[in-house]
């Protein structure tokens, strides 16, 4: 399975009407996990790089609910970049996939849905250590 297949773009239905837009995201329905944590990144700019880690246990869905940003995704063998710029589009990132978020527009609000509560011990923040862990299975 390719990295793009493991990290699909998710399209959420716009259920809005003449009163405005409405996008509903439900854990284990719209996304492939139960949501345990929600956070968002804002106030970054085009020079900032966020993420720069992989997670042993957490899965994520990233959605730019305002503005835009780019996400570089790699598993050490394959790599691709996604631009998130529509509030009804997200990217699913499974366990043990490296992610860098960057090129934030001034109005960017990047919403992150996570499958676990925060545990700093499950983060791999050194890319070489990540590659070694992937190699050793």
Active-site positions? 53
Tokens of 39: 């956070």
Question: Which DSSP string corresponds to 74-90?
Answer: E-SS-EEEEEE--TTEE
The H or E element containing residue 4 is helix 3-6
Q: Which residues pair with 17 in a beta bridge?
A: 20
Report how far residue 130's alpha carbon sits from residue 39's, in angstroms, rounded to the nearest whole number.
24
What are the phi and psi torsion angles at 101 (to 5°)? -110, 135
């Amino acid at each position: 399975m390719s990295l793009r297949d493991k990290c699909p773009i998710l399209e959420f239905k716009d259920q809005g009407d003449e009163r405005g837009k409405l996008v509903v995201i439900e854990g284990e329905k719209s996304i492939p996990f139960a949501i345990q944590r929600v956070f968002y990144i804002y106030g970054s700019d085009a020079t900032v790089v966020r993420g720069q880690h992989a997670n042993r246990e957490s899965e994520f869905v990233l959605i730019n609910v305002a503005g835009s940003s780019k996400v570089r995704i790699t598993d050490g063998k394959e790599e691709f970049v996604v631009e998130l710029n529509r509030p009804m589009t997200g990217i699913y990132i499974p366990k043990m996939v490296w992610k860098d978020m960057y090129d934030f527009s001034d109005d960017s609000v990047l919403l992150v849905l996570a499958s676990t509560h925060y545990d700093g011990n499950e983060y791999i923040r050194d890319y070489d250590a990540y590659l070694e862990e992937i190699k050793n299975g």
